Amino acid sequence: MEYKTILYEKKEGIGIITLHRPDRMNALNSTMLRELDHILSEIEEDSDVKVVIITGSEKFFAAGADITELDKMSTPVDVHGFIKEAQAVINKFEDLEKPVIAAVSGLALGGGCELAMACDLRIAAENAMFGQPEIKIGVIPGAGGTQRLPRLVGVTKAKELLYTGDSIDANEAYRIGLVNKVVPVASLMDEAMKMASKIARQPGVALRMTKFAVNSGMNMDIKSAMSYEARCFEILFSTEDQKEGMKAFIEKRSPAFKGK
């Protein structure tokens, strides 16, 4: 498939998706959503890709949904298809079996912030700005903003950001737990690649099980989540990597994981 709104490359087991609508500040439109859906399906089936990075340009990660497209939708019926697709694609980042890192430089607002929040980890450049400004145009976030933001930063802070529509800078995002680290703009991709490479060296099945356990457990009561965690733990004892990892630990050497 030839992409019009994204770029994609692979480096050393890492898939790098770059949002690429420079004339529209990387705003998410229907075309971009379809292309993201397609590339995620390819990545899911590509055993060479261990970790995914999604990024944008220096000034814009993604400035939100494409308002010019949304403005043409005047009824709930009109907007239903768009928001259903947006949720499905953004959820796909969260549900991808492989870890996803958002490398955010510049604006990550509205749908851009929602996309970043669906990723497993977020690294922010010093110039990054995050926010859910939808209230200022008479709507609310529709692709996870009212749900993921409280889970990441707490209900009280999330309500403040959602009610005011205010944006926060990278340091504040780090302080409240929205991002994992803040780095200089020039070193953003180097830092993202460094983290992705470190994760890619981990045993693949255990990595997937970790993501399953965390994501699934967040939607369960604590006792059900603990039971689910135990099942995941038990299953890993059927893998070659578990046996290699424990043997290497006992023998005081580095393990040679095979992803099996």
What residues are annotated to the active site? 114, 134
Q: Rounded to 10 degrees, what is the CA torsion of 211, 215, 221, 226? A: 0
In a 3-state reduction of DSSP, which class is residue 210? Answer: helix
Quick check: 52 and 15 in contact, CB under 8 A?
A: yes
And the tokens for 158?
Answer: 């999330």
Residue 158 Cα distances to 134, 139, 176, 178, angstroms: 13, 16, 10, 10
- DSSP state, residue 65: B
Beta bridge partners of 17: 8, 54
Q: Rounded to 10 degrees, what is the CA torsion of 25, 27, 32, 37? A: 120
d(CA 88, CA 197): 28
Rounded to 5°, the CA angle 52-254-44 comes to 20
Q: What are phi and psi for residue 8, nearest 5 degrees? A: -145, 135
| Dihedral sign for Cα atoms in the order 202, 204, 209, 215 | positive
In a 3-state reduction of DSSP, which class is residue 245? Answer: helix
